[in-house]
Amino acid sequence: MDNPEDSSTLSRHERRKLRKQQFKEQHLEQQSLQKKSRWVKNGLLGGAVLIVLAGLFFFFNQATEIEKATIDNDASIGPTGAVTVIEFGDYRCPYTKAFNEGKFNQILKEYEGRIQWIYRDMPIPSHANANIAAQASECARDQGKFWEYHNLLFQRSAADKQNLVEYARELQLDSRVFEECLDSGKYRDEVNKDYNDGLASGVRITPTFFINDRVKLEGDVSVEVFREVLNQELGITG
């Protein structure tokens, strides 16, 4: 293939002139790429800021109402009037399981008497037996052992009806009363209400935490992150 700018046929002066022109073109091209890169970067950052601001706006308009609706209706541990943590969780979610098996009790112990933890059900439809497991925890609550049953559900892998009843026996609940509660679907509507409230308040993954209607955390959050947020809400510095 012929090259229209074959430098071998050019004089020294012409070759020097050509090199300058090529250098200039490369420099202009590099500037153009850098400019485009800045546009993309700024656009992404701007979009992220808008998303965060939109999320905060939505959260501040929703969380207070959600919190008031849960104080008297859902399982809770810790004194009222303390810093309130509302968890939307799923017994069949590996991330909810990971958080509740270790970090949950560590946080409760570290902030004993200073936080109130409220648990709401968010059974993801694609998770097998998540809904009936949530109903079972409410049936255990009828007999005063919600948190014991709650912890056991995360420790065990099976959540079919037979195993759910067996867990009740293991905790020395009245298994007949427990099974009747489960079979009747007594808490089906309550579990579904929790789920719909979660959707309405912007819950899209489990677990999701709302702290004092000010902060929203998502996923298997570290103890360090929780500690930072709780200390801020409690006015603890240093």
pLDDT digits (tens, 9 = 90+) for 197-223: 999 999 999 999 999 988 999 999 999
Which residues neighbour 64 within 8 Å (Cβ) at sequence distance 6 or greater?
Answer: 213
Query: Token digits for 72?
Result: 């008297």
| φ and ψ at residue 125, rounded to 5 degrees | -55, -30
Task: Write down the pLDDT at residue 69.
Answer: 42
Least confident of 13-22, 98-107, 171-180: 13-22
Share of the chain above pLDDT 70, in %: 69
Whole-number Å distance between alpha carbons of 30 and 7: 24
Q: What is the tens place of the pLDDT at every residue in 175-197?
A: 999 999 999 999 999 999 999 99
Query: What's the whole-number mean pLDDT along residues 154-165?
Result: 95
Contact 107, 226 (CB under 8 A): yes
Most confident segment among 52-61, 63-72, 177-186: 177-186
Whole-number Å distance between alpha carbons of 28 and 45: 26
Residue 72 pLDDT class (50, 70, 90 cuts): low
Does residue 132 surpass a pLDDT of 70? Answer: yes
Ramachandran area for residue 166 (φ above 0: left; ψ -120 to 50: alpha; else beta)? alpha
Residue 110 pLDDT class (50, 70, 90 cuts): very high
Whole-number Å distance between alpha carbons of 174 and 142: 10
Average pLDDT over the chain, rounded to an integer: 81
Does residue 39 surpass a pLDDT of 80? Answer: no
Query: What's the whole-number mean pLDDT along residues 74-99?
Result: 95
Residue 13 pLDDT class (50, 70, 90 cuts): low
Query: Token digits for 89?
Result: 């969780």
Query: Token digits for 156?
Result: 């065990």
Contact 171, 152 (CB under 8 A): yes
Contact 169, 161 (CB under 8 A): no
- State the pTM of this model: 0.71
Task: Write down the pLDDT at residue 12.
Answer: 65
Task: Write down the pLDDT at residue 62.
Answer: 45
Which residues neighbour 134 within 8 Å (Cβ) at sequence distance 6 or greater?
Answer: 90, 91, 121, 123, 187, 191, 194
Whole-number Å distance between alpha carbons of 156 and 82: 31
Type of residue numbered 200? A
Q: Which of residues 238 and 97 earns the better pLDDT score? A: 97
CA neighbor of 120 nearest in space, from 13, 206, 33: 206
What H or E segment, with its residue span, contains residue 110? helix 104-110
71 DSSP 8-state letter: T
